[in-house]
C-alpha cells in the first residue's frame, strides 16, 4: 500500500504541475494576444493624409496638421495624448477611475 500511495502522490504531483503549466501558458498567450492584436485593417493606428496635411491617430481619435513638422520630430502633443489615453486605459483595466475625469465633471 505504501508503494501505491507514493505512486499516486507522484502522479498527482505531476498532474498538478502540468495543470499549472497549462494555466501559465494560457495566461501568457492571452497577454501576448492583447498586446499584439489581430493585425487586421480595422486596427489601424495612424493615417497620414498628405493632400490635406492631416495626421489622424485612430487610437485616441485625434487629428493633427503639419505632417512635415511631425516627420521632423515635433510629436510632443501626440505623445502626451497617447500617454494620457494609455494611463486612462490602465486605470480602467485596474478598476479605478481616472481622477482627471472626476475633477473635470
Please report the beta strands in 17-88, taking only residues with DSSP state E, as ranges in sequence order.
Answer: 46-49, 54-57, 62-65
Instruction: Tell me the C-alpha distance between 33 and 76, whole Å.
Output: 29
Q: Cell numbers for 21, please give them.
A: 503549466
Residue boundaries of the structural domains of the chain = 1-40, 44-105
pLDDT of residue 92: 87
- The answer to whether 21 and 33 have CB atoms below 8 angstroms apart is no
Across the chain, what does the average pLDDT equal? 85
- The answer to whether 30 and 22 have CB atoms below 8 angstroms apart is no
User: What kind of architecture, by CATH, is found in domain 44-105?
Assistant: 2-Layer Sandwich (3.30)
**pTM of full prediction above 0.75:** no
Q: Model confidence over 25-66: pLDDT tens digits?
A: 998 888 787 767 666 666 788 899 999 999 999 888 899 898
Amino acid at each position: 500500500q505504501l508503494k501505491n500511495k507514493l505512486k499516486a502522490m507522484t502522479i498527482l504531483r505531476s498532474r498538478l504541475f502540468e495543470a499549472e503549466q497549462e494555466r501559465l501558458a494560457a495566461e501568457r498567450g492571452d497577454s501576448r494576444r492583447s498586446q499584439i492584436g489581430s493585425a487586421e485593417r480595422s486596427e489601424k493606428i495612424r493615417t497620414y493624409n498628405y493632400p490635406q496635411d492631416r495626421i489622424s491617430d485612430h487610437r485616441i481619435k485625434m487629428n493633427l496638421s503639419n505632417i512635415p513638422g511631425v516627420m521632423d520630430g515635433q510629436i510632443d502633443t501626440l505623445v502626451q495624448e497617447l500617454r494620457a489615453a494609455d494611463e486612462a486605459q490602465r486605470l480602467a483595466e485596474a478598476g479605478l477611475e481616472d481622477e482627471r475625469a472626476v475633477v473635470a465633471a
